[in-house]
Structure 1
Amino acid sequence: MSKKDESRPNPFASPSWVASSIFVGGLVVLGVVVSIGVAQKDSSHSDAVGNAGSVVVACSQGSPGMEISNLREAEWEAIGTVYAPSLAGAGPALVEPDGFRRCFARSEAGAVVAAATYVAIGSGRPDLSRRLASDATFAGPGRDAAMAQADASTNGSNAALQIVAYQVARYSTNDAEVRIAVRSADGRLVVGSVPLRWADGDWKLVVDPSTGRYVDLADIPNVAGMTPWGVNQ
């Protein structure tokens, strides 16, 4: 796995762990309680592309036949202090001027990269939380609840997290669920299941409309049964 280094200031710079639109709820991390709701908006980034929610670019299908084993060839690039994967043929095929990433392949590998990318965006770019809710969430009551969370939430405590493993809990060309494990700065492991649905030419997050949450969280002692995967793997 390779990591991209930037000599110029990182365009994704932000606090390392804030209230995240992916990891939602109350969770003890690094010995403190972190409120993991949807982070507050920052209009300075969305202004870079005007009304970011109105930007519509069709996504290509990527490489549906890509083997999931190719994920080990992914490159990793920082979004704030959280590294996100990219892999030709799996995605993302589009990185927009504000840093938002989308257009993932309709394949098992594409679903894994999408899940990890949404985790990284939600964790590393709180200013993109509303775009995550509006543009990367399956349409319906769940998206409405996520948008309401994005409008109402404030930042939580900071912590540095990195993706360390994944597991495909289920997959079809229409629906998927990917478990993403992350490690905190003090070595604590947490896993979240990211539900996805294929719609409008891309993988979309499926939100529980009763809570506005994307992910169910659990502490784990290790990543047994999962595939090690991340910037330092």
Structure 2
Amino acid sequence: MFGLRRRREPPSGPFYKQRGWVSAVMFLGFVLVMSLIALVAGPEIEDDSEKSRKELDGVSGPLSPGDPQQVRDGRDGRPRNCRTDDGDQEQPRSAPTDVTWRKRVALMVPVSPKAGPLRTDEPGMWWCFARTPTGAVMAAHLIPVQVSGADWRTAAEQQIVPGKERDMFVTAKARAGASPPTEVGRFVGFSLDSYSRGAATVRLLLTRPSGGYLSTSVSLRWRDGDWKVALQEGSLYSPAKQGQPDGFAMWGAARG
């Protein structure tokens, strides 16, 4: 009849087997799992986004304590005391004409007032290279050399791309102790295997003390407002092999 409601029978069996209870538990479990996922994944997603933005800007994070580069500012993350003309993106086919040669550790290295290193007053390292192909060439010559000198740790911490490989490199070098530099010849030529505003690979040609030439390469990344060496299987250079002047821009005879 109208107005009468049919009385439901109370559910039978243990409460945890009842349909309503199971549905509620499943829903709460779903909410809890999604909350945990958001809690864990949220910072990672934010970090990845921030990392991508910084990589595009050439900035990878705060400077290490004691970094002579001091405070970075500007859109490209350059230090305040490092300003270069980055307009010339032409890959050099011949040696720059404004280069002078200065001794660093056991080798003569090229120094350009336009391409760098512009800061040669720091005791531990020379730095501040132009964000140009020629700037990458200058960095490839200099950075591995000064990482082999007495102040190698400062240069390694500031001029090698940070990460596990750099940590292992520093640890191994510290354990090996200081060793006198060996004569490896002279820089006589270079070529750019690849270049972009964020990365470069520079091939170097050196004379061999016993005669002939050796060829090796240095990989670079633009980080923290300057060029830094990207280790290749834990090494500053690729494995050296016999080389020839063909395909290289030659430096010429004047090296100071």
**Superposed pair shares fold, TM > 0.5:** yes
The normalised TM-score by structure 2 is 0.62
Which residue in 2 is equivalent to 1:11? none
Residues 129, 226 of structure 2: 8 Å contact kept? yes
More contact order relative to length (CA 8 Å, sep ≥ 6): 1
Distance 1:93 1:81, change over 3 A: same
Alignment of 1:1-233 (within 5 A): 53-57=66-70, 58=79, 60-66=82-88, 67=90, 68=92, 69=94, 71-98=96-123, 100-122=125-147, 126-154=149-177, 155=179, 158-208=182-232, 211-229=233-251, 232=254
Residues 76, 230 of structure 1: 8 Å contact kept? no
Once the two structures are superposed, residues 93-133 of structure 1 have per-residue CA deviations (whole angstroms, 9 ceiling, x without a partner) of 1113415111101010100001011243245xx21221221
The normalised TM-score by structure 1 is 0.68
Moved >6 Å (runs of 4+): none
SS at match of 1:223: coil
User: Per residue, is there more helix in 1 or in 2?
Assistant: 2
User: Per residue, is there more strand in 1 or in 2?
Assistant: 1
SS at match of 1:192: strand
Cα RMSD of the aligned pairs, angstroms, is: 2.5
Question: Equivalents in 1 of 2:131, 2:120: separation in Å?
Answer: 18
SS at match of 1:117: helix
Question: Equivalents in 2 of 1:159, 1:56: separation in Å?
Answer: 31
Distance 1:54 1:94, change over 3 A: same
The one-letter amino acid of 2:129's match is F
The one-letter amino acid of 1:133's match is A
The one-letter amino acid of 2:165's match is G
Question: Equivalents in 1 of 2:181, 2:69: separation in Å?
Answer: 33
Find the structure with the greater CA-based Rg.
2
Residues 161, 228 of structure 2: 8 Å contact kept? yes
Distance 1:107 1:54, change over 3 A: closer
- TM superposition shift of 1:150: 2.4
Gap regions ≥5 residues in structure 1? 1-50
Question: Equivalents in 2 of 1:162, 1:103: separation in Å?
Answer: 23
The one-letter amino acid of 1:55's match is P
Once the two structures are superposed, residues 133-190 of structure 1 have per-residue CA deviations (whole angstroms, 9 ceiling, x without a partner) of 1110111112212211221224267225211100100000001000111113332421
Question: Equivalents in 2 of 1:147, 1:53: separation in Å?
Answer: 17
**Range that drifts further, 177-186 or 215-224:** 215-224
- TM superposition shift of 1:53: 4.7
Distance 1:189 1:85, change over 3 A: same
Gap regions ≥5 residues in structure 2? 1-63, 71-78
